[in-house]
Amino acid sequence: MAMDIAEQIRQHLPRNPTETVPLIDNYCSFYRSLFSDVRNYEYFKYLHLGLISTLKRKSLPEISKIVNVSSQGLHHFLTKSNWNSSDLEKVRLKYILSILIDTPITVIIDETGDRKKRCDPASAKDARERAPR
């Protein structure tokens, strides 16, 4: 027999978080214990959903539009809610290590977006003149 909402409120039982997409729900479930408030956990999931979306600008106002929550709520989650980023980092690293244990990996370093050293002809000439012969 299902409990009615009024009884659930009287007993101070937490509600279940709103579902998003299975990928986000499964990944974020590893972090559920870090959030005492279900709303904070939902905002955590909404941010992840926005980050993997096809949005060109991953700003809070843009993310809030596609996940249908207020940008102020997302901002409040990031700045004022009671979760700890170092605890989140520990859980994240533990999760990654549990996946990668005994799994060979290849690390690829892509320098495409890195700034290159500027090479103007005058400084190149100076460098050649100073080079040992």
Those residues whose C-beta lies under 8 Å from the C-beta of residue 27, and which sit 6 or more positions away, are 48
What pLDDT digit, counting tens, does each position of 7-45 carry? 766 777 677 888 889 999 999 999 999 998 889 999 999
Does the predicted model carry a pTM greater than 0.85? no
Rounded Cα–Cα distance for residues 35 and 42 (Å): 9
Where helices occur in 11-131 by DSSP H, the ranges are 22-28, 38-51, 60-67, 71-80, 85-100, 121-130
The string of pLDDT tens digits covering residues 113-126 is: 777 776 666 666 66
pLDDT at 107 over 80: yes
Q: How far is CA 68 from CA 27, 38, 56, 63, in A?
A: 21, 17, 17, 8
Concatenated DSSP letters of 33-47: GG-SSHHHHHHHHHH
Q: pLDDT tens for residues 66-90?
A: 999 999 999 999 999 888 889 999 9
Calculate Rg over the CA atoms of the chain.
24
